[in-house]
Amino acid sequence: MIYIERLEFIHKSGDVLYPVKITRKSSGKTAFHLVPFGLDKTVDLVEVEDPLEAIRLVIDESHSIRCSTLTATITDKNGKRIKRTGIYSINGANIREYNIR
């Protein structure tokens, strides 16, 4: 996975999340997955390859973006340590602050 370490999301738990570039199984395309504010994450997904454009959409246009921690920080239902992942917005309820480096 490729992370944008210039943009940090601080989760309410204290975990630090970073936008992540992932490969879509159906198309094989590797990109950052964003969702415009208020739209559906499965139907209205936007794929962006350029990290600077992804950051601009998150900051200037309130898009949500797929993020992950760098290391395992939570325990799943089977007791296995895993990374916290999800689609997050800088204005989301689970994000207490964000930083741009």
Reported as a single tens digit per residue, the pLDDT across 56-98 is 999 999 999 999 999 999 999 999 999 999 999 999 999 999 9
pTM, 2 dp: 0.91
Count: domains in the chain? 1
Do 54 and 34 meet the contact criterion of CB atoms below 8 Å apart? Answer: yes
pLDDT score for 42: 81
In this prediction, residue 77 carries a pLDDT of 95
Domain interval for residue 39? 2-100
pLDDT recorded at residue 8: 97
Alpha-carbon 4 to chain mean position = 9
Q: How far apart are CA 40 and CA 21, in angstroms?
A: 19
Beta-carbon contacts of 83 under 8 Å, excluding residues fewer than 6 positions away, are 68, 69, 70, 71, 72, 73, 74
What pLDDT is recorded for position 81?
A: 97
